[in-house]
Amino acid sequence: MTINSMTGFARASGSFDGIGWLWEMKSVNGRGLEVRCRIPTGFDHLEDPLRKIVKARFSRGNVNIHLQFENRGSDMAYQVNREFLDELLTLANRYVESWRCGA
């Protein structure tokens, strides 16, 4: 069944493995059907299927679909590879010394 006209709002959210997600869909009346998608980079492959789903259910209106992610991991911390950092600092010091000697 195709819906001819609609004004509405829907939201769904959840999380998995410390990453939260939020889908929102807003629709207002309009003469034709216009679908806008705001999707994070890397999830662009979802846009065409979303448009097809909306076009199968709506015949008119301005429909906005939004997906966003949120990092909910509060215990995430930076880790420093001290051995690698020491090696980089040693190389940097050698470079500075060779530059000074050559100048």
Q: With contact defined as beta carbons under 8 Å apart, do 65 and 23 qualify?
A: yes
Backbone angles phi, psi at 61, to 5 degrees: 120, 165
Note the pLDDT of residue 75: 61
Percent of the chain with pLDDT over 70: 88
Q: Residues 6-37: pLDDT tens digits?
A: 688 999 999 888 889 999 999 998 889 999 99
Q: Residues 47-65: pLDDT tens digits?
A: 999 999 999 998 888 999 9
Q: Which of helix, strand or coil describes residue 56?
A: helix
Backbone angles phi, psi at 2, to 5 degrees: -95, 135
Backbone angles phi, psi at 30, to 5 degrees: -165, 160
Cβ neighbors of 79 (< 8 A, separation 6 or more) are none
pTM of the model as a whole: 0.61
Beta strands in the chain, from DSSP E residues, in sequence order: 8-16, 19-28, 33-38, 61-71
Note the pLDDT of residue 72: 73
- Model confidence at 1, pLDDT cuts 50, 70, 90, reads low
- Token readout for 65 is 């679909």
Note the pLDDT of residue 80: 86
